[in-house]
């Protein structure tokens, strides 16, 4: 299956594999997705949509086993405060529905911030831009494709 995200990776010449899984619309957590694709939750990254009071909308990529540290993100972005975008706005802003949000190929290019733990792995998994499909690729290739800023923005749940 080709998605906007995989077409972008193809354009960069980035190698990836796709892993499909059965979607439960009542349980879209990264931990559940990780179990379904046979990877540890800390290696499966979720993309969140946040808004800063100064910088506007950002896409934030954190491990499935962690939660976003809003204060740490605000320090990195220069915002006084950042908050999660209400779920009802996510599709309008990104073009993606919950469970399928990715930093590649959205409606607009927003700044991307990625938790530093991404560098701990040879391979990571992220949404391919549609529910039920994860892209597996190297962290370096992913960061090159999204032009992301890496920092300490996640904390354990």
- pLDDT tens-digit map of 102-155: 999 999 999 999 999 999 999 999 999 999 999 999 999 999 999 999 999 999
What is the value of pTM for the model shown? 0.95
CA dihedral 87, 96, 141, 134 (to 10 degrees): 90
Domains and CATH numbers, the chain: 4-156 (3.90.960.10)
- pLDDT tens-digit map of 42-87: 999 999 999 999 999 999 999 999 999 999 999 999 999 999 999 9
- Angle, CA 102 vertex, CA 109 and CA 131 arms, to 5°: 145
Go through 116-143 and write b for each residue having 16 or more CB atoms within 10 A of its CB, e for each that does not: ebbeebeebbbbbbbbbbbbbbbbebbb
Q: How many angstroms separate the CA atoms of 82 and 96, rounded?
A: 21
């Amino acid at each position: 299956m080709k998605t906007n995200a995989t077409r972008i990776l193809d354009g960069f010449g980035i190698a990836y594999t796709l892993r499909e899984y059965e979607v439960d619309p009542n349980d879209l957590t990264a931990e559940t997705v990780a179990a379904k694709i046979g990877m540890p939750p800390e290696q499966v990254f979720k993309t969140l949509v946040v808004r800063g009071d100064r910088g506007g909308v950002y896409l934030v990529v954190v491990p499935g086993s962690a939660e976003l540290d809003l204060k740490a993100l605000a320090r990195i972005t220069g915002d006084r405060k950042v908050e999660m975008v209400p779920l009802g706005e996510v599709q309008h802003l990104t073009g993606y529905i919950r469970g399928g949000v990715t930093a590649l190929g959205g409606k607009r290019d927003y700044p991307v911030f990625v938790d530093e733990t991404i560098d701990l792995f040879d391979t990571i998994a992220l949404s391919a831009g549609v529910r039920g499909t994860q892209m597996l690729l190297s962290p370096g290739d992913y960061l090159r494709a999204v032009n992301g800023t890496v920092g300490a923005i996640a904390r354990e749940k």
